[in-house]
Chains A and B, each alone.
Chain A
C-alpha cells in the first residue's frame, strides 16, 4: 500500500496525540489521584430506602476531619440540600453517598468537578476535600421530569470554628 510521505508524518503525529491524551488521563489517575465514580457504593433497593442507610440522609462525622453525607435525589429535590443547605466544615474530607429514589438524576456542585449521576438502585460514592469556606449551588443536571428545572440546592462550607460551636 502506497502512503504519501506527508500522510505518514501526519499519521505518526496523530498517534502521538492519541498516546499523549491517554497519558494525561493516566497521569491524572496516578499523579494527582483523580479517581472515577465506580461500583464501590454498591446497590440499594430504591423502593425501600427507608430500610437503608438513606432512611435519614444527612451529614455524619466519621473521624476528626472526615464526614459522610448521604443524599437522596427525588423529583424535584435533594434531601438534604434543597429544603436546607448541606453544611460541612472547611478543611474536611467529605464522602458523598448519593442515590435516586425515583428516576435518574444528576448531582453537580456548579462550577466544580463534583459532578456525578444518581441512578435508582445504585449508590454513587464521591470523596471531596473542602479546604476553604464557600457556598456552592447544587444542580440536578439530568432531566428528571416536568419540574426538573426547579431541582437545585446548596452546599455551605462553613469555617471550622463556627461548625464546632454549632455542635452538629
Chain B
C-alpha cells in the first residue's frame, strides 16, 4: 500500500505543500539565474540595475522562506502521520494553516513583484532581511505575518497529532521522525517570536504610519535573533531526511537513533543564542556578547559533526548490506543512479564544504575579511542552496510517487539532475567564495566601480565572474529538469501505478531503547533553551531598549 492509499487526506496536504514549495523554487531559481548573469555583467537584458533588487528580494523571500517552509510542512506532515501511523486530527484545520501560509506568501510576493510594474503602487525592495529604515509596502509585512502564523498553526497540528497518539501510547518512546518534527517546531516557536515582535510591534505599525520612528539597531537585532535559527529551520528537515530516509535508500538502516535525538536536542538548545554572529561588525553591541555568540556558534558545529558521522556510518552499512567490501569498496555498491540517494549524498558532501566556510564566518575576527562579501552567499548556497534544496528535491523524487500514486516519470532526467546541480553549484560557489576574499560585495547589481579594483587572491576576477554565470545557468537548467520530473510524475498518471518505493523505514541498528528517557523530555529542553537565550540576549537587548523602545529613531524610507 502506498502512503497515498493509507492516508489520502494527509497525502493531499503533503502534495499541496510540496507543489507550492517547488513552484516557489522554480520562480526563485529563475531570479537566481538572472542575478548570476546580471551582476557578473554577462547579460543585463532581463532587468535594469534598479530592478535587480526587486528580483533579489523575490529570490530571497521565495527561496529562503516560502520554498523551505512549504517543503518542511510537506515533509513533516508526511513524517508525523507516517511515524505515528495516524492522520492529522482535522483536515479542515490542516487546510486552514496551509491556506494562511499560502495567502501570506502570495501577499508578500505581490508586494515584492509590484516593484517590477511601474503602474502598481506596490514595492518591497527590502531584501529578505528587510532592515529598517528601508520600508516595504505594508502588504509585505502583513503577508509575512500571516505566513509565519500559518507555520505556527502547522506546528500545532503536528503537536495535536502527537498528543492524541500519546494518549493511546502512554509509555512508548516518541517515534524518531515525530521527535525531530517536535524539536524543530519548538525551536521555531522560540526563535520566530523575535521576528514576530519585530514585525508586529515595530515595522508594521511604522509602515502604516502609526508610529513615527523605529530603532534600526533594535529591529536588526530582533531580525537576527530569528535569522540564524531560521537556517536550522531550513536544515533540520534535510537532517530529518538524512537520518530517517537516506539510510534506507542506501540499502541499510540508521546507525544510531539515540545520537539522532541528541543532535536535535542540541539544535533546539543552541540555534538561537548565536544571532549576534551576524552582527560581529555592528556598532552598538558590546564585544563580550559577540564573544558569547561566537562560542555558542562553535558548539553548534557539534550536532552537525555528529550527523556527519552517523549519516556516513549508515550509508556505509547500506553499502555493505549490498555486498560492498573493503575499506572503501562499499562506496561502489551504493545506488548512485537513484536520484533520491544521489541527491541526498551530494547535498551532504556540499554541506561539509559549506560547514568549513561557515567556521570561517563564525570566527569572530577573521569574519572582518569576509563580512558582507560574496563569500557569504557562496557559503549559504552550499547550505540552504544545496544541503537543504537538493535534499528536498531528492526527497521529492522518492516521495512524489508515494503521495500521488504515480511512478516516477522521466527517470533519465531525474538520474542526471542531482549531478548537474552539484556541478553547477561547484562552479558558482567556489568562485563566490574566492570573489569574497577579494572583497567583492554581495547584494549588488553591479560590483564594478571606477574607484575600486578588486585583486583576486586565487584566480582572476573575470574568471570568477564567468564561473558564477555558468554555474547559475547550470543550476537553473537542473531546476527545470527537476520540475519536469516531479510535475510530470504528478500529472502524468491516474494514481493507480504499482510503485517501486514505499514509506516503510527499517529499525535503526541502535534503537531508542538504548537512549536515556530524558532525551524525550521536551519541556526540560525547551526550558534550558530559553535560559541560554536569556543569558545571550537579556543584557544586550535591555541595553538597546534602555534609551527608549524607538530611539535612536529613524523614520521610514520607502524603497
Interface residues of A (CB under 8 A from B): 1-4, 6-7, 10-11, 14-15, 17-18, 21-22, 24-25, 28-29, 34-39, 41, 43-47, 85, 102-104, 106, 108-125, 137-150, 152-154
Contacts and interface: CB of A to CB of B under 8 A. Distances in A.
Interface in B541-559: 543, 547, 551-555, 557, 559
Contacts of B134: 103-104, 144-145
Interface of B: 49-50, 52-53, 56, 125, 127, 131, 133-134, 215-217, 220, 255-256, 258-259, 279-287, 290-291, 294-295, 298-299, 301-302, 305-306, 309-310, 313, 359, 362-366, 368-369, 371-373, 438-447, 449-455, 510, 514-516, 543, 547, 551-555, 557, 559
B127 A152 contact: no
A119 B372 contact: no
A116 to B, nearest CB: 4
Given A1-B514, A3-B259, A154-B451, A106 B441 contact: yes
B259 A121 contact: no
Nearest to A43: B552
Interface centre among B299, B441, B454 (most CB of A within 10 A): B441
Contacts of A7: 256, 259, 306, 309-310, 313
Q: DSSP class of A's interface residues: helix, strand, loop or mixed? A: mixed
B302 A138 contact: no
Given A36-B290, A120-B552, A139-B452, A115 B372 contact: yes
Given A2-B514, A116-B281, A110 B298 contact: no
A14 B510 CA distance: 22
Contacts of A111: 438-439, 454-455
A39 B283 contact: yes
B220 A119 contact: yes
Nearest to A7: B309
A47 B510 contact: no
Contacts, number: 232
A116 B553 CA distance: 21
B286 A18 contact: no
Contacts of B281: 36-37, 115-117, 124
B453 A143 contact: no
A29 B554 CA distance: 34
Given A106-B441, A148-B53, A113 B298 contact: no
Contact of A137 (B215, B255, B302, B449): B449
Contacts of A140: 441
A152 B302 contact: no
Contacts of B49: 146, 149
B286 A39 contact: yes
A117 B53 CA distance: 20
Contacts of B365: 25, 28-29, 34, 36
A12 B56 CA distance: 42
11 contacts: A43-B552, A46-B554, A103-B133, A104-B216, A113-B369, A121-B553, A137-B453, A142-B131, A143-B127, A148-B443, A149-B49
A153 B451 contact: yes
A113 B368 contact: yes
